Amino acid sequence: MVRDGRIVALMPTEDARRTYATRIHTDLATHALIPGLVNLHTHAAMALMRGLADDLPLMEWLTQHIWPAEGKHVSAQFVFEGTLLACAEMIRGGVTCFNDMYFFPDVTARVSAEAGGSGSPSPAALRASASQPGALRVHHFRLLTPDPLLASRGEGAGADSGRGAGRSSGGAGI
């Protein structure tokens, strides 16, 4: 039994028919009714990079293809469009909640809310050596919306939400 978008009871079909009066009855005899799935590790906007040299070893893929492509293309608009695509794909696959670690987390949060899902952008820590080809920039992620935990540490609303401009020298940025 589903009421207001929530599963309120699980029981044999005949028991449900006797117990509940329904406005709409949908018979899905070959389906299973389950709560939404949760994806705890996403980089949603990277849906736009699907297929980009994806048959390579990880570090070669990152340093020679992904990081340079991100440096050229990632913007708030890129994250908006990529996250919108990813949300549509996740909803279609039954994912109703996701944790995202990528650039412009405020954009990801807005797109997720507008798509009807529950996205949780979180800070990402990156580490790289400046001597490596395609060295990472240090990225500082902070949500633009108030967050009690961040506020207690003096972070949160109004802080950087995009990409930092400095080069990493082996440290981590959060």
Does the model's pTM come out above 0.85? no
Token readout for 17 is 């028919």
Decide if 101 is inside a domain. Answer: yes
- Residue 171 banded pLDDT, cuts 50, 70, 90: very low
**How far is it, in rounded angstroms, from Cα 161 to Cα 156?**
9
Residue 111 is predicted with a pLDDT of: 93
Could you give the number of structural domains in the chain? 1
6 forms beta bridges with 3
Decide if 119 is inside a domain. Answer: yes
Decide if 130 is inside a domain. Answer: yes
List of residues 6+ apart from 138 with CB closer than 8 A: 126, 164, 166, 167, 168, 171, 172, 173
What does DSSP assign to residue 137?
A: B
Does residue 68 contact residue 134 with C-beta atoms inside 8 Å?
Answer: yes
Decide if 150 is inside a domain. Answer: yes
Domain enclosing residue 89, as ranges: 37-173
Residue 125 is predicted with a pLDDT of: 57
128 vs 6 pLDDT, higher one: 6
Decide if 4 is inside a domain. Answer: no
Q: Residue 55: give its domain's CATH number.
A: 3.20.20.140
Decide if 102 is inside a domain. Answer: yes
Residue pLDDT, tens place only, 68-122 = 999 999 999 999 999 999 999 999 999 989 999 998 888 999 999 888 878 888 7
